[in-house]
């Protein structure tokens, strides 16, 4: 007998080196791993979450797929079962932001009924580079997705290194995922 009420798989997508796995590590362990290697085989972490909006604890499965991930073959089934999508970009690299629609399209090939969070990561590096992505662009993209897909979508900037906004991101997103799940279940 488990002490979890429900289980939710959260998928993390984005270009390499945006900090997806580091965000997951920070969520699960509370620590930053400075030497995280490219995710060649994928990474799955499971945690118990006891948020304010939950009647009982829930199981969260945080999935960072391997490099070269796509909506084909053995990943197709995993995509069908996601309950939340985290799209991550590096605020110091424009191309990672520009590639977000491609990552979103991959996830949408199997479902459009999950909440989404857009995460601008590595804000701790803002002062050390000359050009960064303005947070307003991330906010606008989140609003666009929410409007076009009619799904809850939020935006937040984080630093996996310092931990800034990681707990807030996680708790707000999990609350949306669990509320969306209740809403979807009641609609059917």
**Average pLDDT value for the chain:** 82
- Give the dihedral sign, CA 67/22/176/102: negative
Domains and CATH numbers, the chain: 7-187 (3.40.50.300)
Q: For 59-108, what is each residue's pLDDT tens digit?
A: 888 888 776 555 555 566 667 778 899 999 999 999 999 999 999 998 88
Confidence of residue 188 (pLDDT cuts 50, 70, 90): very low
- Mention every residue, 6+ apart, whose C-beta is less than 8 A from residue 132: 91, 92, 125, 126
Contact 29, 84 (CB under 8 A): no
Q: Would you give the DSSP letter of residue 51?
A: -
Average pLDDT value for residue range 21-39: 80
Comparing 13 with 79, the larger pLDDT belongs to 13
Contact 21, 1 (CB under 8 A): no
**Three-state DSSP state, 28:** helix
Q: For 125-166, what is each residue's pLDDT tens digit?
A: 999 999 999 999 999 999 999 999 999 999 999 999 999 999
pLDDT of 38: 54
Exposed / middle / buried, residue 56 (Cβ in 10 Å: 0-12, 13-18, 19+): exposed
Confidence of residue 185 (pLDDT cuts 50, 70, 90): very low
Q: Can you tell me the distance from the alpha carbon of 93 to that of 96, in angstroms, rounded to the nearest whole number?
A: 6
């Amino acid at each position: 007998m488990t002490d979890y009420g429900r289980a939710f798989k959260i998928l993390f997508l984005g270009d390499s080196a945006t900090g997806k796995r580091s965000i997951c590590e920070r969520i699960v362990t509370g620590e930053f791993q400075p030497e995280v290697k490219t995710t060649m085989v994928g990474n799955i972490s499971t945690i118990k979450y006891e948020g304010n909006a939950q009647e009982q604890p829930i199981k969260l499965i945080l999935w960072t797929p391997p490099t070269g991930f796509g909506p084909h073959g053995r990943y197709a089934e995993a995509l069908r079962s996601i309950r939340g999508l985290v799209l991550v970009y590096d605020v110091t690299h424009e191309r990672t932001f520009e590639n977000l629609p491609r990552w979103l399209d991959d996830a949408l090939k199997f479902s459009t009924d999950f909440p989404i969070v857009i995460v601008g990561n590595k804000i701790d590096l803002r002062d050390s580079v000359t050009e960064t992505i303005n947070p307003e662009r991330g906010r606008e993209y989140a609003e666009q997705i929410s409007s076009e897909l009619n799904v809850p979508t939020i935006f937040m900037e984080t630093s996996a290194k310092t931990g800034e906004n990681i707990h807030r991101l996680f708790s707000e997103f999990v609350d949306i995922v669990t509320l969306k799940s209740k809403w979807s279940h009641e609609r059917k």
